[in-house]
Amino acid sequence: MNYLMGAFKPPCNITITFSDGKTRKQVSVKKENGKTAMVPVFQSLETISGEVSIDPVQGKKVEHTGVKIELLGQIELYFDRGNFYDFTSLVRELDVPGDIYEKKTYPFEFSSVEMPYESYNGTNVRLRYILRVTISRNYVSNITEHRDFCVRNYSPVPTMNNSIKMEVGIEDCLHIEFEYSKSKYHLKDVIIGKIYFLLVRIKIKNMELEIRRRESTGSGPNTYVETETLAKFELMDGAPVRGESIPIRLFLSPYELTPTYRNINNKFSVKYYLNLVLVDEEDRRYFKQQEISMYRLLETPASS
């Protein structure tokens, strides 16, 4: 294969660097091949700038009809494989047609780029941002190189954040009231709450709180829904009696959560639910699911 590789080897190396690449925060993301890589993080309306360097392979020249860099925001639906939907596309021309004989460096800048959606890597959908450099050529295929980056958008602390309080039960069998202190949580938040047992006529073995992610993609008849349990957190061991109250304290930081995404570009949604599950001695499960809204709070050094 080596010679083949050699044959199709691009005649030049393209490197994309960010101007603040050394200092910018990086996060690890999972790539298609399963490996994780560190990528820089941006947020909406930031200026993305850097340099593209094209270094032709020794003794070769690169003939081109133009060099451009694009900033793309793409949504990729897995059931619709190969079709990327670009919701953002910005282009900067880097060079006029000509030949490149030796390493050439082009600075670029996308200022105040609007990136309304966060990068997301889900079960059926991926939302990603890339910078793509294209060297257009005649007769032969274009040479492209891309660089991923990650977008994370921060939300302020919501002004309204009501608690979730609910009374549920099965008549003459089980009656509980639960309370989660908030309905909106940031990603490193703690879920505080309480469960009151108002009536217990079944033999409960234990109780757990699940965090579930519901990812729905597509629309209309082509809607795909994938639900994933991200956390199973045992709250209670044994059978309570009437009048007991069980505390909830669930730290969200160990789990890989994202903010809630609602109808991203009409392509997909990601929602989070708290699922309270009671298991009885015959392993029957009684549950109640409640949506919670997740948001990303800007991490200030003080709050960490």
Residues binding other proteins (CB under 8 A): 204, 206, 231-241, 244-247, 249, 251, 253-254
Q: How far is the CB of 247 from other proteins (least distance, A)?
A: 6
Residue 116 or 247 with smaller CB distance to other proteins: 247
How far CA 170 is from CA of 10, 244, 302, in Å, comes to 67, 17, 45
Q: How far is the CB of 235 from other proteins (least distance, A)?
A: 6
Q: In sequence order, what are the beta bridge partners of 226? A: 215
Q: Which distant-in-sequence residues (6+ apart) come within 8 Å of 146 by Cβ?
A: 16, 130, 131, 132, 133
Q: What are phi and psi of 8, to 5 degrees?
A: -100, 5
Instruction: Give the DSSP per-residue string, 210-249.
Output: EEEEEEEES-GGG-EEEEEEEEEEEEEES---TT-EEEEE
Report helix, strand or coil for 265: coil
Residue 222 or 245 with smaller CB distance to other proteins: 245
Residue 86 or 237 with smaller CB distance to other proteins: 237
Q: How far is the CB of 285 from other proteins (least distance, A)?
A: 17
Residue 118 or 208 with smaller CB distance to other proteins: 208
Residue 62 or 236 with smaller CB distance to other proteins: 236
Residue 188 or 271 with smaller CB distance to other proteins: 188
Count of C-beta atoms within a 10 Å radius of residue 222: 10
Q: How far is the CB of 277 from other proteins (least distance, A)?
A: 13
Q: How far is the CB of 304 from other proteins (least distance, A)?
A: 11
Q: How far is the CB of 20 from other proteins (least distance, A)?
A: 30
Question: How far, in Å, CA of 78 to CA of 240, rounded?
Answer: 45
Q: In sequence order, what are the beta bridge partners of 275? A: 210, 289
